[in-house]
Amino acid sequence: MNTMRRGIVVVLTVALAVALSAIPVLAFDGRAGDNVSVGPGEQVDGDLYLAGRSVSSAAVIDGDVFAGGQTVSIAGQVDGGLTAAGQTVLVSADVSRGVRVGGSTVDITGAIGRDLLVACSTFVLNPEASVGGDLLIGAATAMLKGDIAGDISGGCEKLVIDCSVGGNVKVEVGTLEIRPGAVIQGNLQYTSAEQANIPAGAVKGTVTYTERTETDQGPRPGKEWGARGPLAFFAGLTWKVIAYLMAFLTGLILILLAPWRMAGAATSIRTDTGPVAGYGAIALFVTPLAAIVVCATVVGLPLGIITLLLWGILLYLSQIPVSLFIGHAILGRNKPLESKGYMIGCLALGLLLLTLARAIPFVGFFVALATALFGLGAFVVTERRLMRSHGVGEDFPMP
């Protein structure tokens, strides 16, 4: 029973501490709610973070924009970069730097200064839009009507090119359509179930066609899969990109709200590996069992349900300190995690490597298990250290 109480105390204490740690002054403009709107008359000096069911901005943003919601609409002007994820993402803003978007439907009508990364079901790059760098795409259907200065790479079930491409095109598709008037200045290399009808003079470089065979598409239950191979592959890629973007956005918010807490959790994995693993085991395995037992009583039912919910939240957040630890170890462990910019760089690199590792069959399970174990333990050890610094929890021994 003491172990059960300890597990529940661990999760409740840590979850509440992480959730409430950011009440101090914010160094950015963050807005959240059911419907979040930034009007055209506003100007935001610095980065803008938006989260809600419906999110929109038509302001002039002197920095980067990070937005997540069911519907995301970004208009106006963004002098930095844009990272957005949602069911429907509409970008009509002129963005000075790169854009990274994931969702079901992505529609772009603005000018993008640098590269564009898109992972979605339906993507439209409208005629008035333009991309100043490369386009990396994974989609079911993609309609490219706006000019692209750099290369195009990725894969689609159906890809339509009706624009000017300044570089090379290397794609894997179900069907490829190059419309009259489209121009590819570089080479065209594509893999498809059938050869495309390419208008004369549309490709200035060489054209390389590779027939997609059933063996190329991997094991299939039957020939009816046909050209749906790219769709199946990039549908999985789409959700991995969305998951990465959402986790990255979550980590960004936590770093900006409580940088010292996140830095402490990441550092504790290296400096207090034993206690981190011990508390992680309690939080990961004992806490949910304890909460289920508590739910068996009428009085304890609310506490048990709340504990399970908070445990699930912490389980998701556990990847943040582990990603910081991995990124810090690669970028330079001798440099302390003090600068928010440096921490964000460590998070981006570490989370990317963690996402790739979790995608490996069989190995991914153990990576996810280790992430949860050390991530949860890092949160607990960090909060325990903070409580002890305030004279609280002296009778709460290390496992």
Q: What is the pLDDT of residues 61-77, one digit of tens each?
A: 998 888 877 788 999 99
Question: For residue 152, what pLDDT band results from cuts at 50, 70 and 90?
Answer: very high
Residue 390 pLDDT > 90, yes or no? no
**Cα 282 to Cα 380: distance, rounded to the nearest angstrom:** 10
Token pair for 83: 């990272």
User: 28-37, 39-48, 217-226, 273-282: which range is least confident on average?
Assistant: 217-226
User: 66-75, 118-127, 212-221, 340-349: which range is least confident on average?
Assistant: 212-221
Q: What is the mean pLDDT of residues 45-60?
A: 84
What is the pLDDT at residue 217?
Answer: 47
- Backbone torsion region of residue 76, taken as left when φ is above 0, otherwise alpha when ψ lies between -120 and 50, otherwise beta: left
How much is the pTM? 0.56
The percent of residues in the chain predicted with pLDDT above 70, rounded, is 80
DSSP state, residue 309? H
**Site of tokens 């910019």:** 341
Q: Which residue has the higher pLDDT, 228 or 296?
A: 296
Question: For residue 191, what pLDDT band results from cuts at 50, 70 and 90?
Answer: very high
What is the pLDDT at residue 228?
Answer: 46
Calculate the CA 30 to chain-centre distance: 18
User: 53-62, 71-80, 201-210, 343-352: which range is least confident on average?
Assistant: 343-352
CA-based Rg of the chain, rounded to a whole angstrom? Answer: 24
**Chain segment 276-334, per-residue pLDDT in tens:** 888 888 888 877 877 777 776 666 677 778 878 888 888 899 999 999 999 888 887 67
Between the alpha carbon of residue 337 and those of residues 129, 259, 271, 311, 321, the distances in Å are 39, 9, 14, 26, 12
Q: What is the mean pLDDT of residues 207-226?
A: 58
Report the candidate in 75, 19, 20 with the shortest Cα–Cα distance to residue 48.
75
What is the pLDDT at residue 396?
Answer: 39
Residue 197 pLDDT > 80, yes or no? yes
Please name the helix (run of DSSP H) or strand (run of DSSP E) that holds residue 213, with its range, or none.
none
User: 9-13, 170-174, 279-283: which range is least confident on average?
Assistant: 9-13
Q: Which residue has the higher pLDDT, 22 or 356?
A: 356
Q: Which residue has the higher pLDDT, 130 or 140?
A: 130
Average pLDDT along the chain? 80
Q: What is the mean pLDDT of residues 329-342?
A: 80
Report the candidate in 331, 320, 334, 332 with the shortest Cα–Cα distance to residue 263.
320
β-bridge mates for residue 56, sequence order = 37, 73
Report the candidate in 139, 77, 74 with the shortest Cα–Cα distance to residue 113.
77
β-bridge mates for residue 188, sequence order = 169, 207
**Cα 207 to Cα 186: distance, rounded to the nearest angstrom:** 9
Residue 28 pLDDT > 80, yes or no? no
Residue 208 pLDDT > 90, yes or no? yes
Residue 22 pLDDT > 50, yes or no? no
Token pair for 306: 């709340």
Q: Degrees (nearest 5) of the Cα angle 228, 229, 230?
A: 95
Q: Which residue has the higher pLDDT, 208 or 342?
A: 208
**Cα 322 to Cα 352: distance, rounded to the nearest angstrom:** 12
